[in-house]
Amino acid sequence: MTDIDSSRRTFVARAALATAAAAAAPALAQEGQKQPGAPTAPRAADYPKPPFPVQQQPWPGLASQMTPRPDHGETSYKGSGRLAGKRALITGGDSGIGRAAAIAYAREGADVAINYLPAEERDAREVVELIRSTGRKAVAIPGDLRDEAFCQRLVEEAARELGGLDILVNNAARQQTKPAIANISSEDFDATLKTNVYAPFWLTKAAVARMGPGAVIVNTSSEQASDPSEDLVDYALTRAAVLNFTKSMAKQLAPKGIRVNAVAPGPFWTPLQVSGGATPEKLQKFGSQSPLGRPGQPAEIASLYVAAADPALSYSTGQIFGATGGGGQPA
């Protein structure tokens, strides 16, 4: 055998091995084998289903004290630069859906400011560290959104600290279950309306004054907007208001090049539920009535908040992105 023949056989053998490895790669990926150090993405089939342990927390609740603890995508969300260089303000960014959006935005390349109530500082600190671990800037601004003056300061401070504002996510909400309208005090009603409707109005008004073409506002609505529960009267009406606010503002701001979209979640496992949003009895079977038979995890909706703000979807405004576990969505 000549040296040339030997070299050719070695080359053919190596090529065959490479081809076999390439063919096997998809199968290995389907079996869940990952490269060392890659984040472990939970499978939807592995997410917890009811019944859940009996638990209650004082409003506004902490994700860090929930059982089971929600998945916000801390170890699984992988970005691809869809929001590179953007500057975002997210209300309710300490836990739940807002936290998942903050993690996703940072990993997509955005600098992020989060707002939360002072009582949620413990959860907020975790989010700040998660954002900074991606190499992005994190700004924490605690305060009560029921105060118009604070809402104005919040937008001003976020824009100053981030060097501008490209994305506003109106996500923070108040939800308290009440069996009958007689149980909803004027104080309760006022707190829910100010948190869920007044604050997005005030924040949007302040943000638009600082936004330019290409900016995006993302609101959080709910399946409650079109299929309200009998014990969430005040909360449900605010979600319908946000839905219409989104559509009207999308038309108003289109000539300015500013898009406005909304995300409408179904039942999601967040502190909103364990801090008065559901009765202890309802909480034990929370999400069981959805076609998927469980509540969603915040990590499962984060990508919709990215899509709602993604510059690549520049023709999408006034759109409602739903995630209800098969339960339909508001139109």
Handedness of CA 97, 100, 102, 104 (dihedral sign): negative
Amino acid, single-letter form, for residue 18: A
Q: Select from 271, 323, 277, 251 the least CA-distant residue to 68.
A: 271
Instruction: Give percent helix, percent strand, percent coil of the chain, each to the nearest 5.
Output: 45, 10, 40
Which active-site residues does the annotation give? 235
- Given a contact cutoff of 8 angstroms between Cβ atoms, the answer to whether 250 and 243 are in contact is no
Tokens of 37: 């150090």
Other C-beta atoms lying within 10 Å of the C-beta of residue 161: 16
DSSP label at residue 152: H
- Given a contact cutoff of 8 angstroms between Cβ atoms, the answer to whether 59 and 172 are in contact is no
Give dist(CA 150, CA 312) in Å, integer: 33
